Amino acid sequence: MTQKTSGLALSTLGALACCSLGTGCGGAAAPDARYPAREVGCPVKSYPAQPPAPVDDLGLVSIDCAAGGATCPRQLLDAVCARGGDVAWGLGENALTASHLSAHAAHTRRVTQGPLERGCPVQVFASGTPTMRTENIGPVVALCDQDDTRDVCLRELEDQTCQLGGDVLWQVEGPAPEGNKQRMTGRAAHTK
């Protein structure tokens, strides 16, 4: 066996080892920058076959469960969350008692058409939720200098929202000291 072939065999064995440990083959990182990884337990719409609405495909995820435990379906949905998805489809292809489950991870097609320029207009709802229909994009974080005003830090948070294609910022918190900086957080969304 040549050195190149043996290296390929070792990397394949490493990938198979990851899958057999139940870490979710292909579920560890979001492959699409538009859809960052979501928290464990995030809401996921499940479909036995193709989803009825347009989605952006994020790839196949799979897990191995010991003896088809009761938590296996949720572990599979968590692998979809880790991929950045909010849709799991193709679940009907799994046997009811299977210990190896797989699904297609996807995200509902975004209203946004891509990143906007810094300085774009953003509606801010510092407390409470937006008053219009929105699609959540995800969390945004601004790290500002200690001597920056709240308005400067807020504008940076708005610019982060713009760069994600959003035009709504809500659930704003901070700024709060973090080391030698100030940290401000919020949630980016886009009007529907």
Provide the CATH number for the domain around residue 168.
Answer: 3.30.110.70
- Structural domain of residue 94, as residue ranges? 10-108
Same domain, 97 and 138: no
User: Can you say how many angstroms the Cα of residue 12 is from the centroid of all Cα atoms in its chain?
Assistant: 27
Asked if the structure places residue 114 within a domain, the reply is: no
Band of pLDDT at residue 126, cut at 50, 70 and 90: confident
Which residues are registered as beta bridge partners of 145?
A: 181
Asked if the structure places residue 1 within a domain, the reply is: no
Asked if the structure places residue 5 within a domain, the reply is: no
Same domain, 127 and 98: no
Q: For residue 128, is pLDDT > 90?
A: no
Asked if the structure places residue 140 within a domain, the reply is: yes
Question: How many structural domains compose the chain?
Answer: 2
Same domain, 23 and 101: yes
Rounded to whole angstroms, what are the CA distances from 132 to 92, 105, 114, 167, 181? 36, 28, 21, 12, 33
**Range ranked top by mean pLDDT from 28-42, 91-105, 110-124, 139-153:** 139-153
Same domain, 24 and 66: yes
Radius of gyration of the chain measured on its C-alpha atoms: 20
Taking only the tens place, the pLDDT of each residue in 64-74 is 887 556 788 89
Taking only the tens place, the pLDDT of each residue in 132-172 is 888 888 889 999 999 999 999 999 999 999 998 899 999 99
